[in-house]
């Protein structure tokens, strides 16, 4: 039987180019979908890092004048991923971050850059590459969303379409004057088209034209229907709510595998049925001590150690933890922070906290994959106090590594952690601590609650065991996406009015 073919459109993909968790998803999902009989090929921009690390290139199509200059469409395989790469040096051959310049400002031609990505994706969707004609085109976030509009305004028969929202706060909004430059017809600038509050909305267009919309957790799928959570798009999303669903992310359990993890001194099998005390606890203690030594903290096995991994931004709610720092310090806890980016003022406040509390607080700013693994394998609890969090992946890694998550009750955090005081509704049992509404006082109380439980050795072990036996892999989510694609190609496509 011919497998179902999907063209995925992504602006980043792990391990070739990663800015955020989006890359983890676009990199892992295609591999897991293979087991479901779905063949995914992903179209990505040819940033320098991508071009330099391409594996086998087995096809080149020349595009003599593509969005202002010569470009090429490469067909390649890299790290088990089947790819199309848009090699358009005038748009993508730039150093640094894919989205912003060194000074943190957006690249001024982002509309053109990602319209180009979407345009070539739409062309592939409409049969431009005869050897790969997809049944479904699946766009991730605003960067690929316009493909769905291009296909709508074409006369050719189009494949089914899915639009996945990873984060509604990035919408790709550009001035109306760009319409001709990005090759859209004048009639597209309408409410029933790409127009969005007088400008062109890339994500809006994707949400309007997609056959199905997904987001990365069931709770976030509900939150974005509210005026606050919808960030300007709630009206449209409410109209489309019958076609909207939430599918939780998974993590790549071959990368996040405590039994083989090259970044940690004490490896352990996450199989909790046997050897929990000797295997898991013993090796977690080795990792905790290694972490304390590496970061210059007091080597204190009984100090309750909190970890934070992620952007130091107010979206992530990490300012709320700083407000609780005096109490956390007074109680003799330790805090380990790995902040990859975020606001300058929060980075500064965290650095100052580390300087003022030597031996108890460690703050490292930047990307350090090895340290992220060691924190997951050695800290006692991972704090994720996000103000909004479509899914979040770090709490899933924490569950698998026996680090107990302390999270706000928003988005995917609500869906992936079961509070110790909640009645467990799914098989996994209670796995962590949650708080709402998201404010400093509630976070502080919840950290206290966790710290008290930490000193109740039997109770803490039970929570760790429950977390470690939760299935956080891509197996179930991949099945859900495969089912969704399957449903879509069974029904003949109608054009949106
Ligand atoms: C975005 C969201 C995050 C989610 C990720 C992958 O980064 O903010 O919550 O886990 O996308 O879907």
387 lines ligand 1 (CB under 6 A): no
135 lines ligand 1 (CB under 6 A): no
Looking at residue 497, what is its pLDDT? 43
Strand partners, 13: 17
Residues 145, 285 within the same domain = no
Closest ligand 1 atom to Cα of 412: 9
216 lines ligand 1 (CB under 6 A): yes
Residues 336, 213 within the same domain = no
Please state the domain count of the chain. Answer: 2
- Asked, for residue 497, whether it belongs to a domain, the answer is no
- Its pTM stands at 0.95
Instruction: Tell me the two tokens of residue 328.
Output: 């956390």
- Asked, for residue 66, whether it belongs to a domain, the answer is yes
**Can you tell me the distance from the alpha carbon of 408 to that of 387, in angstroms, rounded to the nearest whole number?**
7
Looking at residue 311, what is its pLDDT? 94
Residues 300, 360 within the same domain = yes
In angstroms, what is the span from residue 166 Cα to ligand 1's centroid? 5
- Asked, for residue 266, whether it belongs to a domain, the answer is no
Residue nearest to atom 10 of ligand 1 (CA): 392
Residues 27, 134 within the same domain = yes
Looking at residue 277, what is its pLDDT? 74
Looking at residue 276, what is its pLDDT? 75
- Asked, for residue 69, whether it belongs to a domain, the answer is yes
Exposure class string for 205-242: b at 16+ Cβ within 10 A, else e: bbbbbbbbbbbbbbbbbbbbbeeebbbbbbebbeebee
CATH of residue 148's domain is: 3.40.50.2000
Looking at residue 139, what is its pLDDT? 98
Give the residue numbers spanning the domain of 177.
Answer: 4-250+476-489
Residues 239, 300 within the same domain = no
Q: What are phi and psi of 82, to 5 degrees?
A: -90, 130
Looking at residue 495, what is its pLDDT? 47
Enumerate residues 6+ apart whose C-beta is below 8 A from 316. Answer: 310, 342, 384, 385, 386, 387, 389
Looking at residue 427, what is its pLDDT? 56
- Asked, for residue 407, whether it belongs to a domain, the answer is yes
Residues 194, 303 within the same domain = no
In angstroms, what is the span from residue 456 Cα to ligand 1's centroid? 33
- Asked, for residue 357, whether it belongs to a domain, the answer is yes
Residues 292, 338 within the same domain = yes
Residues 281, 244 within the same domain = no
**Can you tell me the distance from the alpha carbon of 435 to that of 447, in angstroms, rounded to the nearest whole number?**
10
In angstroms, what is the span from residue 249 Cα to ligand 1's centroid? 9
Strand partners, 294: none
Residues 228, 319 within the same domain = no
Looking at residue 492, what is its pLDDT? 52
- Asked, for residue 173, whether it belongs to a domain, the answer is yes
20 lines ligand 1 (CB under 6 A): yes
pLDDT in tens, the chain (497 residues): 568 999 999 999 999 999 999 999 999 999 999 999 999 999 999 999 999 989 789 989 999 999 999 999 999 999 999 999 999 999 999 988 999 998 889 999 999 999 999 999 999 999 999 999 999 999 999 999 999 999 999 999 999 999 999 999 999 999 999 999 999 999 999 999 999 999 999 999 999 999 999 999 999 999 999 999 999 999 999 999 999 999 999 999 999 999 999 999 999 986 666 677 778 899 999 999 999 999 999 999 999 999 999 999 999 999 999 999 999 999 999 999 999 888 999 999 999 999 999 999 999 999 899 999 999 999 999 999 999 999 999 999 999 999 999 999 999 999 999 999 887 665 559 999 999 999 999 999 999 999 999 999 999 999 999 999 999 999 999 999 999 999 999 855 554 44
167 lines ligand 1 (CB under 6 A): yes
Residues 223, 359 within the same domain = no
Residues 236, 297 within the same domain = no
Residues 236, 318 within the same domain = no
- Asked, for residue 106, whether it belongs to a domain, the answer is yes
């Amino acid at each position: 039987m011919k497998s179902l073919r999907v063209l995925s459109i992504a602006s980043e993909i792990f391990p070739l180019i990663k800015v955020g968790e989006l890359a983890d998803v676009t990199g892992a999902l295609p591999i897991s979908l293979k087991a479901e009989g779905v063949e995914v090929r992903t179209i990505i921009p040819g940033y320098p890092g991508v071009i330099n690390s391409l594996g086998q290139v087995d096809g080149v199509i020349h595009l003599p004048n593509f969005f202002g200059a010569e470009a090429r469409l490469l067909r390649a395989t890299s790290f088990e991923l089947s790819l199309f790469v848009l090699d358009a040096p005038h748009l993508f051959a730039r150093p640094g971050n894919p989205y912003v310049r060194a000074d943190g400002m957006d690249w001024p031609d982002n509309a053109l850059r990602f319209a180009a990505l979407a345009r070539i994706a739409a062309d592939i969707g409409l049969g431009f590459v005869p050897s790969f004609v997809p049944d479904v085109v699946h766009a991730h976030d605003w960067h690929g969303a316009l493909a769905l509009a291009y296909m709508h305004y074409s006369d050719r028969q189009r494949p089914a379409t899915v639009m996945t929202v990873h984060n509604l706060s990035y919408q790709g909004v550009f001035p109306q004057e760009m319409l001709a430059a990005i090759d859209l017809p004048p009639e597209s600038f309408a409410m029933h088209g790409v127009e969005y509050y007088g400008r062109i909305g890339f994500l809006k267009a994707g949400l309007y034209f997609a056959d199905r919309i997904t987001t990365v957790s069931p709770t976030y799928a509900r939150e974005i229907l509210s005026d606050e959570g919808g960030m300007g798009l709630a009206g449209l999303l409410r109209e489309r709510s019958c076609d909207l669903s939430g599918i939780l992310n998974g993590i790549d359990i071959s990368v996040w595998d405590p039994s083989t993890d090259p970044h940690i001194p004490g490896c352990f099998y996450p199989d909790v049925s046997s050897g929990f005390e000797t295997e898991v606890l013993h090796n977690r203690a080795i990792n905790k001590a290694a972490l304390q030594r590496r970061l210059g903290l007091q080597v204190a096995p009984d100090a309750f150690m909190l970890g934070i991994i992620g952007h130091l931004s107010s979206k992530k709610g990490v300012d709320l933890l700083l407000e609780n720092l005096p109490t956390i310090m007074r109680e003799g806890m330790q805090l380990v922070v790995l902040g990859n980016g975020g606001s300058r003022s929060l980075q500064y406040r965290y650095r100052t906290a580390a300087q003022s509390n030597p031996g108890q607080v460690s703050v490292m700013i930047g990307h350090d994959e090895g340290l992220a693994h060691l924190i997951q394998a050695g800290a006692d609890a991972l704090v994720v106090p996000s103000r909004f969090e479509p899914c979040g992946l770090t709490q899933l890694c924490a569950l698998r590594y026996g680090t107990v998550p302390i999270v706000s009750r928003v988005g995917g955090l609500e869906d992936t952690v079961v509070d110790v005081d909640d009645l467990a509704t799914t098989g996994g049992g209670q796995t962590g601590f949650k708080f709402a509404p998201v404010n400093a006082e509630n976070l502080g109380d919840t950290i206290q609650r966790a710290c008290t439980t930490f000193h109740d050795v039997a109770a803490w072990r039970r929570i760790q065991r429950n977390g470690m036996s939760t299935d956080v892999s891509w197996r179930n989510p991949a099945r859900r996406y495969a089912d969704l694609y399957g449903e879509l190609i069974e029904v003949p496509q109608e054009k949106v009015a």
